[in-house]
Amino acid sequence: MTESPAEGSRDRIARRVTAPSLLLVAGFVDAIAFVYLQANFVSFMSGNTTVLGASSSVGRWADAGMCAGLIALFFLGVTFGSIVNRSMSRPRERLLWMVFGGLTIGAAIAMWEPGVAVDGGVAGAGTVGMLVVAVATGMVNAVFEKDPSMPYGLTYVTGTLVTAARQLADVVVSVRRQPVSAAGRRAWLTSLGMWALLAVGAVIGGLCYRWISLSALWIPAAVLLPMAAVMSAMSGSRTR
């Protein structure tokens, strides 16, 4: 079935709202994880990989185990999200609800008891909650898997910066060869803006953690709830 202009417009609007919001959410929870888990992440797997290697090299096996667990659960989340994309109708709406559910479950588990220091790390329900959040952030990267404008995962900031740099290089070179469209000239700013949103989300997440500790995990869940509901309503209206 051919998509109508109105449906295409709704999809573009939804994308322009959903993608930035998910980037803010990813930065938000990653900052909380970094502070609470003492330099581990729930969406920045390049960082976790470096910490995994460095911790192993000095015999800090608890830290290495935590990193390995986070990487495995993030991988599981991306895999599950990609299966949803390939096997279910309206995958974007379903994935938003799943991400919301994962963040909600993670926040609820984290509220059971505060983490306690164990050999320089942390243990307790808060840590288990962050492990659940890692699955949710993995699923975030599947939401726009089929969008050609996002060849990398949504939270893959290194890839986003590389894309922005290449797009800027295209603009610089085209000045001497052939002019590019206005959209083409702005493309690198759009990519750089995606990086900035993740950074802003991290700043807000860090501040909220200082303010209300792990209770801050409820904030991104509260942001995603109305978004998922609106996306589902829009998708439902197209099927009538």
Rounded to whole angstroms, the Cα distance separating 109 from 199 reads: 26
175 against 111, higher pLDDT: 111
Query: DSSP assignment of 162-211, as one string?
Result: HHHHHHHHHHHHHHHS----HHHHHHHHHHHHHHHHHHHHHHHHHHHHHH
Rounded to whole angstroms, the Cα distance separating 222 from 56 reads: 37
Stated pTM of the model: 0.87
User: In 15-120, at which residue ranges do the beta strands (DSSP E only) sit?
Assistant: 116-118
Residue 210: CB partners within 8 Å, gap ≥ 6?
Answer: none
Q: What residue type is assigned to position 153 of the chain?
A: G
Per residue in 75-93, pLDDT (tens digit) is 999 999 999 999 998 898 9
Whole-number pLDDT of residue 47:
94
Q: What is the residue-averaged pLDDT of the chain?
A: 86
Please count the other Cβ atoms lying within 10 Å of the Cβ belonging to residue 65: 14
Residue in 77, 84, 81 with CA at minimum distance from that of residue 42 = 77
Whole-number pLDDT of residue 114:
53
Rounded to whole angstroms, the Cα distance separating 167 from 194 reads: 14
% of the chain beyond a pLDDT of 90: 59
From residue 118, alpha-carbon distances to 54, 59, 62, 115, 122 in Å are: 19, 15, 9, 9, 5
Rounded to whole angstroms, the Cα distance separating 226 from 138 reads: 21
The answer to whether residue 1 scores a pLDDT higher than 60 is no
List the single range of 38-47, 72-81, 178-187, 227-236 with lowest mean pLDDT.
178-187
Q: What's the residue count for the chain?
A: 240
Q: What residue type is assigned to position 175 of the chain?
A: V
User: In 18-164, at which residue ranges do the beta strands (DSSP E only) sit?
Assistant: 116-118, 121-123
Q: Which two tokens stand for residue 235?
A: 């998708």
The answer to whether residue 50 scores a pLDDT higher than 50 is yes
Rounded to whole angstroms, the Cα distance separating 203 from 26 reads: 11
Q: For the packed helices 91-110 and 61-87, what is the interaxial angle rounded to 10 degrees?
A: 150
The answer to whether residue 10 scores a pLDDT higher than 90 is no
Whole-number pLDDT of residue 199:
96
Per residue in 142-193, pLDDT (tens digit) is 998 887 767 678 888 888 899 899 989 988 887 666 676 777 778 889 889 9
* Centroid of chain to Cα 191: 15
Whole-number pLDDT of residue 113:
61
Per residue in 19-38, pLDDT (tens digit) is 899 999 999 999 999 999 98
Rounded to whole angstroms, the Cα distance separating 228 from 217 reads: 17
